[in-house]
Structure 1
Amino acid sequence: MDTMTQSRTSKRGKTVDHAPPDLITELPRNVIDVIVEKLSLCDAAKMSVLSRKWLDIWRSKQKLVLDAPFLDRVLKRKIYTREFSDIVTKILFQHSGHLFSFHLKIPSLDSCPDVDQWICYLSRTGVSDICIENLYRNPLKLSRHIFSCGNLEKLKLHYFMINHTHNYGGFRKMTCLDLDKITFTEQAFKYLIHGCPLLQELRLTNFIGMEHVTIDAPNLIRLIVDGTFLSLDVRNAEKLVSADFGLQKYVDVCHKASLRVLIQALASSSKLQNLVFRGHFLKVLYKESLLPSSFEKLRKLDLLFIDLNDMDEFRSIISVIQACPAVERLNISVSTSKHKTSDLLDYNPSAVLHHLCYADVFICKGSEMELKLIEFLLECSPILKSLSLTTSTWYTNRIFSRKMINQLFHFRRASQNLKVSWPDSTAPDYSYSTDSDDSDSD
């Protein structure tokens, strides 16, 4: 009999199996768990066909991600509320063991799903990370059961209503809170923040119903506030490592004293590493004379979505850049109309950005105000290594024309080792390294 056969017959006629062991079945449970956690929920469920040991392994998956790709694979057609709710409910109620993370994307449905029962179930799983993105046409009311999630460390919500003004014990372990497009009152927000004594990261964007923002979180190290508000009061701001403030509409801010205290705390902080000003926030600081004389230790500055349609915006950008003598990385995005204002544009040519090495500038139309800003960076940055210019794809060929690149090429530049890059276009490819004697040419 062939020695390569996997079985043989004994004298009694019984078949003795010599098949190699099933390596998949013999894998230790901890190894199986590691493999399953790296798979999507759909793929984890499919693995149940491998062996009896894998049959229900997906039910104990510690991270459930029910996102858009998951729904596309499961439903593969227009999503109706009942079908969607049945799938989510079935997955949750069949789950067993500890659930570490739950991410859910609620699509645009024909009626409102029952999110309360899901959050109620999650409160009994020991979950520590919840992310729910609501794309339904109306905001969803946040269930009070969320306060029963005693192990919750991270919470991310999109398009919800929070109107709880009673202290349910809060989130004693919460370290990261991400709230986008949330409707709540100032009192509800106050209770929410007060119930998170360990909060380290807060992202508050596109909020509705709150005009006066007060944030009192003693352990906060990263903060983003981007919306429309009349006042901003951040306590313990001297502990911030990253601060990001945006104002989506220009308003006459009140309580200027608290805003001045905030900016001064950031300016004197030895911990602040990254500062971001968005939209009209920088203009408000400039017009109200709230910009400090110097952010002496700041290394990275972002000025985003600045609308250069009048002189105050241009001067505010120049002022804050000049107030950051130690900045090493600078990221700017601006837009402006095409009007001629070069005779009015000015800056202090004696200002020197001694530490600026890298600058990224997004421009909109290549106006003279935008070019003047680029000229300022080139003229005042003696050790600048890289200046990257970008724009929207639609405007690339219009802005980076031969004429404009010629202007850029002839701007006076202080750095002797500078490379300027711009998007691919029909313009000629100039090498912009200034290691020759003509670096000061006009």
Structure 2
Amino acid sequence: MALVEINFDGLVGPSHNYAGLSLGNLASASHAGDPSYPRTAALQGLAKMRHNLDLELVQGLFVPLPRPNPGLLDALGLDARAPTDEAEKRLRAAAWSASSMWTANAATVSPAPDTADGRCHLTAANLVTMPHRSQEWVDTVRQLRLAFADAAHFAVHDAVPACFGDEGAANHMRMAASHDAPGLEIFVYGRPGGAFPARQHEQASRAVARLHGLDPARCLFVEQAPEAIAAGAFHNDVVAVANERVLFTHEQAFADPEGTYAAIRDRLPEAEIVIVPASAVSLADAIRSYLFNAQLLTLPDGGMALVIPLEAWEMPSVRGWLDTMLAGNGPIRQVLPVDVRQSMANGGGPACLRLRVVADPATVDPRFLLDHDRIDQIAAVVAQHWPEQIDPRDIGNEALARTVIAARQSLLGTLGLTELL
């Protein structure tokens, strides 16, 4: 069985809007109330997926979840009328949220080489800290169990109990000599009491490790720096990213950076740790540019490339540091900027948009895997059915709701995924 890394990107849904629902996400808050462009957003995401295919990487897709979510509206006692109360407006906006496009929060994934039963384990994230995201996991599990239905190779777990907040792969890193080798799984959690919520609970991470049957000797549980959370790093993947033997991190990512690096090197002697000092790129610039919310990828020739948002490439401090890095002899040999501005404006960069799964592609439901023709088919559906623009005051509009629902139905029909209707 040939194990490779598959990046499953979330397609931006037709209800993509800027309601500013995510406390602690500075980009989301700063664009609250702006008009959004769902069609452009989805096409930008598809272009990023096509970019990965052009690099000869295996690319997967997750489809948008059903929105507006009638179950949430019913549970909150909201009817079809447009609300006038501000609190009701935010609750209705939650039912319309397209945040499931950020599939780094869909689940935590442990590949087969790391688990006791030799299967790839996935645990859906409960996302309980944010109301608009806490509704996602039930539909996410349905999709995961369809994509990874081969029980000989996969185990998909329900979310951990909601008393322990779990945000999925955005607070989880894996390092290994190669994707198909046994790895070191690094779970990053936050402590409560700061300016913004610490979304990942330590006990949620420990529960996931137990559910996945991981060897405790090859697990690390690391605290995220409180100052990083306070500065807007609501997930660890805003300040650090790992791939195979390489950790790429801001020096202020972890509460105990030197202890973290020592523990990694002790368990993975071949580890290479690339640290960006605050003197070169401030924590504020790192978060504003989403330098670390990047895809650190191993290319077919064995070299590594960093796929970053254009915002990072255009920021002078970040560009200067990247140019210096590329002029050296480090493990990251290419920097590849991509345009995901619509996602960035709502607080999610290239890494937020994808869930990494190490598996044999032949064991995955082929409807969730992409080639160029399939991307063309999806792009045609998006161009025809996705709204061009949504203003936050449009949320709750019945005609727009019908458009959004019909757009998703058309996509599922095209992909042959009507089980998810």
Q: TM-score, normalised by structure 1?
A: 0.25
Specify which structure has the bigger relative contact order, considering alpha-carbon pairs within 8 angstroms and separated by 6 or more residues: 2
User: Looking at CA atoms only, which structure, 1 or 2, has the larger radius of gyration?
Assistant: 1
Report which of the two has the higher share of strand.
1
Structure with greater helix share of residues: 2
**What TM-score, normalized to structure 2?**
0.26
